[in-house]
Amino acid sequence: MTRTLDIAKDLISKKSITPNDAGCQDLLIRHLNLLGFTIENMNYGDVRNFYAKRGTNSPLVVFAGHTDVVPTGPEDKWQSPPFTPTVTDNKLYGRGAADMKSSLAAFIVSIEEFVAANPNHPGSIALLITSDEEGVATDGTVKVIEALKNRKEQIDYCIVGEPTSNLEFGDTVKNGRRGSLSAKLIVEGIQGHIAYPELIKNPIHEIAPVIHDLVNTVWDEGNEYFPKTSWQISNINGGTGATNVVPGEVEVLFNFRYSTESSAESLKTRVEETLKKYQLNYKIYWNHSGQPYLTEKGLLVNKLSEAIEEVLKIKPVISTTGGTSDGRFIATLCDQVVEFGPINESIHKINEYVAVDDVDKLKNIYRITLEKILLT
């Protein structure tokens, strides 16, 4: 049993279902106090956040992550209790094992080892930790970043410990994420008896050509870093449940995952132009939950990639695929933000796990990256 694994198990044992921190941050803070970090608790509502910093000089390297986890689902489906960390067949099982309590443990021990070897190191190290990443994410990292902006704090480099690896540990580094734009569209018709089409206006029929056009629209071609912008429907609801009644309205929920080649405003405009083309009676409610962000290949991407190659002997792919993360908030204050962590195959699933051997390899990658940035 290694120190990194011990801390990961301690964290997994805490039932920190979002936005409840359940004592995880107190555990991390105890370790950081011993390393001479200055701790700022920055809590908002039910959400716990902290910003811990060691040093006052630049460059500043920040490790960012979250202590909250998603609900477990039916616990009787788990092979072991989800908040009882269990090692079986060289895998550590438990909710948060991959997303992202092993990364948090690796942050701590990588910094411990770095500081032990370099007690008077140049530059500064910080951690930005929240309990509001898996939920609505309105009182977590975004609020801490606002506070740091207000006092003119500058972050030079940031590593977010999200589980980015795909098929093999270390195969993927995220250097950005697509933007996310959602909408609820309500198209109104005239409800009535299905046998009297002259007296009704079927909103499902009305919206059908709109859906056809939007599905077949090429929103952009993407670029070197981003795939093409994608438009997808997640829900369609309409009807009374009766087979002889045409509904009065239909509701459609959809989402864009968009590249830096498009903007939220341009996508909204194009959708509404299509709706107006078919002269629909509609209401639309937009929710823009994240701008796309991108760190072009530079010092941070290069040094992290070098560390991965040293430890794992593989060259990672640099990618922007996947969902959103708190990197989108940090990128408004920091030009170089990357995400790297364990294999993501089991995240949010029953029997979430991380390979035991990967936990200390992850710690070593974080430590070597620190060395390459602050000591060279």
The residues annotated as belonging to the active site are 68, 133
Largest CA distance in the chain: 83
